[in-house]
Structure 1
């Protein structure tokens, strides 16, 4: 063992540095489901900045330094408060916000979102079924994103009003009728955040022919 370590010191140091970088600085996250469509697609691999909000000791939730506060509209990776599954969703409401949804319309602090640029199209479900979807631009103040609803798919599109507790966030998927998010598992405490998704590194059509989607390589994720 001593000889192995001596003869491979450079490689071992590289592995340790790489492991630290992934666990503490930056990581990547494959997109396995359609919960963030139309903005993130199955087969996208996104770059996650692990120190966007907090610098933590690797493999722990111990915060060494706070870097910045999460903002509405940020796409983040986090551990589900329900079962610890690693998820990726969008922050819709911040600590202290009053949030409500009435018949799919989102309200933040009493202000209703505005919906424009309506587009009807067909979307494929995980079971292979194709159904009609409505895709729109959702805007609250200066914060905008494309979201969609699926026709005749049951989802919790009414809740609240409720206040987001201190140190917690409300997460929603952009594919509102096909997303397990805060409507089902509740608010997400800050210590469960992993990092901010900032860019698509690579992408492949995993639901089709598995060919690379080169037009998505390096694509940034807009934050308005």
Structure 2
């Protein structure tokens, strides 16, 4: 008896619409579906490499994160669209089956050549290159407003010691919370402070009113009685806010900083007046004393995002440099 002979199963034809959609799941996946395995895998890996280079550029060349993100997104959309159109065109080759029959294979290719590497890049960037800080207090007003999210470049003190007047992101003593403060005195210097009178070494830190054409940039809240002043700290200049309705009780008769200690202050020098006892421990060196160098996390460089209390974007603040 002659056994039945089963006809060979024909490979499923390729669909242009599916190739187009797969390209937006992973840029090269549509090409893989169209039979161009090497081109598809190469495109996925190239996109991961470009993303990595953008992260490095934002970190070390201090590119504005928002602009870099928009440029990267635009480039990704253009390249993906071109790849999708090419994949869709190749699927119209009559009689040519798709590369693989099982959808799991396409999922594995996307995971191994695009999704997985992207996840690794993002994870390592957040561990070693940069992080973000959401501002919820008035401590760094007028530079940073509540609702701002700061991009912090991770640069340990061992790599580049902060200079006088620079902003640093720190893990505060007692609470270990992330905070942004300004360096006003360096290791080995002596600090004296009574209210808002600050003496570093034998030099009195001077204050001058902020020029009228810059007061609008400071965006001070009049209801809190804040005034903008320029602090002249040796050769550095930066804006601080002081309220004429509150008094600062901090008194430091004489504090000698160790070889790896910094004296850091909030830009809003009247910030301490409204804090609870628990919050005061996280304020600045007027309360927690000298800051050890090992608590420095990095340098705030830009405002990555900003929104109001109702979470409406404040587009005019997004991308502003911090200095």
Regarding TM over 0.5, the answer is yes
Whole-angstrom CA distance in 2 between matches of 1:176 and 1:45: 21
Shift of 1:6: 4.8
Q: Decide whether the 8 Å contact of 1:156 with 1:183 is kept in 2.
A: no
Aligned residue in 1 for 2:304: 201
Aligned residue in 1 for 2:314: 213
Tell me which protein shows more helix as a share of its residues. Answer: 2
Q: Decide whether the 8 Å contact of 2:133 with 2:178 is kept in 1.
A: no
SS at match of 2:123: helix
User: How many residues end up aligned between the 2 structures?
Assistant: 201
Aligned residue in 1 for 2:221: 123
Whole-angstrom CA distance in 1 between matches of 2:246 and 2:194: 16
Residues 73-88 of structure 1: pairs in structure 2 closer than 5 A: 73-88=165-180
Which string of whole-angstrom CA distances, capped at 9 and with x for unpartnered residues, describes residues 19-67 of structure 1? 110110112222111100011111112111102x35xxxxxxxxxxx32
Whole-angstrom CA distance in 2 between matches of 1:122 and 1:16: 42
Q: Decide whether the 8 Å contact of 1:31 with 1:45 is kept in 2.
A: yes
Aligned residue in 2 for 1:45: 149
SS at match of 2:207: strand
Aligned residue in 1 for 2:119: 15
Shift of 1:210: 3.7
Residues 152-171 of structure 1: pairs in structure 2 closer than 5 A: 152-171=245-264
Aligned residue in 2 for 1:100: 192
Is 2:202 the counterpart of 1:110?
yes
Runs of 4+, deviation exceeding 4 Å: 3-7, 118-122
The runs of 5 or more residues in structure 1 that have no matched partner are: 55-65, 125-129
Tell me which protein shows more strand as a share of its residues. Answer: 1
- Computing the radius of gyration from Cα coordinates, the structure with the larger value is 2
Whole-angstrom CA distance in 2 between matches of 1:26 and 1:134: 33
Whole-angstrom CA distance in 2 between matches of 1:136 and 1:177: 13
Whole-angstrom CA distance in 1 between matches of 2:159 and 2:108: 38
Aligned residue in 2 for 1:176: 269
Q: Decide whether the 8 Å contact of 2:231 with 2:239 is kept in 1.
A: yes
The runs of 5 or more residues in structure 2 that have no matched partner are: 1-103, 273-282
Higher relative contact order (CA 8 A, sep 6+): 1
**189-198 or 98-107, larger mean C-alpha shift:** 98-107
